[in-house]
A and B are shown apart, each in its own frame.
Chain A
Amino acid sequence: MGKLIDMIRQDVRFGDSLKACMNCGVCTAICPAAEFYDYDPRRICDTVQRGDEDEIERLLTSDTIWYCGQCLSCKTRCPRGNVAGELIQVLRSVAQKMGYYRSSEKGRQQEQLMKGIGQNILEIGYCVHPDRVDPAYHPEQGPVWEWYHDHIADVAPRLGANYHGDGAGALRNIAQEDLDEVRRIFEVTGGMELRNYVLPTEEKDNE
């Protein structure tokens, strides 16, 4: 494995994400993650720009890179055309390839995300689907969601949805031939490799 900074630079998104940061802090000023967490996109850009391997390794093994909410508000405002949120995507990708995500509490949450969203995509062809928004795990969704979740087979057709039906329409079952093509894309492009690496072992054993 080469140097971390080389791996970062090899990502096709890197060139767009970091041109030349002048450390002005505008991105940090508008960043919702910076308001909530001890997080500073300006410092992330600065660390990567300096290219110090030890510092980059510390960053990739920390919680810090997992704080960004991917709103990309930073893209609009950076006077140099940098995109801190896109640089974060690159860093997270390297942290996963190197296994560094396992060193931090926030990084290890990737397993949950892979088990949820990652598996939804491959199994049903949706990132999110009402069957998989369980009220027990989503108390913030409130009692109306619980009602819909319990009665969706009766309510969805009234909304013109094709819930678990074949053919077109909202909430239809996605045909096996289409799911197979999506899975093939994951196999050919590295999606399955990442999934197999990050998915918790017990989930793989269940298959």
Chain B
Amino acid sequence: MKRYWNEYQKEIADDHFFYERSCIRQTFFAGSETTFLRILREELDKDICDNPHQHTCTGIGYHSDVVPFETTMTVVARLFSLMTECGYKNFVPSCVTSFGVFTEMMAKWEENPALKEQARQYLWEACKREFEVPENIVHSSDIIFKFREELKPKMRYQLVNRFTGRPLRVVEHIGCHYAKIFPHHGVGKAEFPYVLAGMIESWGGEVVDYPERRHCCGFGFRQYLVQENRGYSIANTKKKFESMEPYEPDFILTNCPGCAMFLDKWQYTIAEMEHKTYDQAGYGIPVLTYEELTGLLLGYDPWEMGMQLHQVQVDRLLDKIGVAYKPEEKYLGVGGKLLPTPLKPEILKQ
């Protein structure tokens, strides 16, 4: 097959990043953000700013239509002003929804300079602040992609099944707003995104293609956030699981925190509702963030990264990779505090 992604590679800055945290990643995968910063600082020796004055980009509210365009645009301008104030030019959102929002505002300003001027006026009136547009904007997964070969020699493990010696089979899922809105902002563009596939291939795994690979995870903003609408969300996720099931993937890898959460939690819900799991053994298919995967291969403790917070358990995958971990420490609190363990689902094996 022709490898279209080779034809397009976007520019990813080399150093000095301004990190914009994600509401969803902090909520469900706080350890992934810690891991990302650790990899950049300790493994790659990069400078990355974690500014205390940042806040939501409002993206979830914007796409749920409770925040007007002009408001989101000006909140984005404030976040850019924090970057400007600290002397940074390379903006790195952790969230894929935010990445879509930032790139949308930058595109609108580019084609309509009067709108950028309006954003400047609004921001000045509201906050007495000024901003510059980032010189380089990439999603945080792009940075790990860029340095994947540099990270490889530091890794303790590979994506190889230690029982069979064969590459692990990985399904990747790219958040819709990573490249479907502005394809040129995605590594490999929208149809052949290579940001996660590149990591998987570099680190010894095999990327599994399947028919619904590009289908949305099913989030749908108001289609999940309003309880009565959740049928939309689970039905679309189910469509993906059914499509990937025959290929027997060892795990799913995502770059969007929302997708990671839905692909994990909906497997539990479907198992409890329909007694159906998408692996043969009844444990479900583990779902990893790209930060967790990178950290695992580098030898980081899975529980310090928060992998115990997944509903589909990762332990069997850790065994396949050969990761040394301590099962007895999985549900400890800080300082080794003993905590009760989570209740077990009825159907989904743990």
A residues within 8 Å of B by Cβ? 11-13, 16, 32-33, 35-37, 66, 69-73, 75-76, 89, 92-93, 96, 106, 109-110, 112-114, 116-118, 121, 125-130, 133, 137, 140-148, 151, 154-161, 163, 166-172, 174-175, 177-179, 181-182, 184-191, 194-195, 198
Contact = CB atoms under 8 A, between A and B. Distances in A.
B232 A188 contact: no
A142 B218 CA distance: 18
B115 A12 contact: yes
Interface in B294-331: 303-306, 308-311, 331
Contacts of A148: 309
A125 B181 CA distance: 26
B176 A72 contact: yes
Contact of B265 (A145, A184, A198): A145
Interface in B169-203: 176-177, 179-181, 183, 190-191
B216 interface: yes
Given A118-B61, A198-B66, A35 B74 contact: no
A142 B268 contact: yes
B222 A185 contact: no
Interface stretch (B24-32, B139-147, B158-166): B24-32
Nearest to B119: A189
Contact of A188 (B50, B125, B215, B304): B125
A126 B221 contact: no
Nearest to B125: A188
Given A159-B31, A181-B127, A191-B68, 4 more contacts: A70-B220, A143-B343, A158-B332, A181-B129
B229 interface: yes
A179 B55 contact: yes
Contacts of A167: 52
B75 A156 contact: no
Nearest to B26: A170
A70 B251 CA distance: 27
B98 to A, nearest CB: 10
A137 B221 CA distance: 16
Given A32-B236, A170-B21, A147 B78 contact: no
A195 B66 contact: yes
A142 B269 contact: yes
Contact of A189 (B24, B126, B218): B126
Given A72-B100, A72-B181, A188 B33 contact: no
Contacts of A171: 26-27, 30
23 contacts: A13-B108, A16-B111, A36-B232, A36-B236, A37-B232, A66-B222, A69-B220, A76-B183, A113-B66, A126-B55, A127-B23, A128-B60, A147-B340, A151-B340, A155-B309, A159-B30, A161-B31, A167-B52, A170-B33, A185-B74, A185-B122, A188-B126, A194-B66
Contact of B215 (A32, A116, A129, A159): A32
A109 B67 contact: no
Interface of B: 21, 23-24, 26-28, 30-31, 33-34, 38, 50-56, 58-61, 63-71, 73-75, 78, 100, 108, 111-112, 115, 122-123, 125-127, 129, 176-177, 179-181, 183, 190-191, 214-216, 218-223, 225-232, 234-236, 239, 265-266, 268-269, 303-306, 308-311, 331-334, 337, 339-345
Given A76-B191, A189-B71, A161 B126 contact: no
Contacts of A37: 232
A113 B180 contact: no
Contact of B75 (A116, A140, A146, A182): A182
A144 to B, nearest CB: 5
Contacts of B122: 185, 188-189
Contact of B337 (A75, A109, A154, A160): A154
Given A66-B222, A140-B269, A179-B55, A36 B231 contact: yes
A72 B56 contact: no
Contact of A12 (B112, B333, B345): B112
A12 B108 contact: yes
A82 B115 CA distance: 20
Contact of B65 (A69, A93, A160, A169): A93
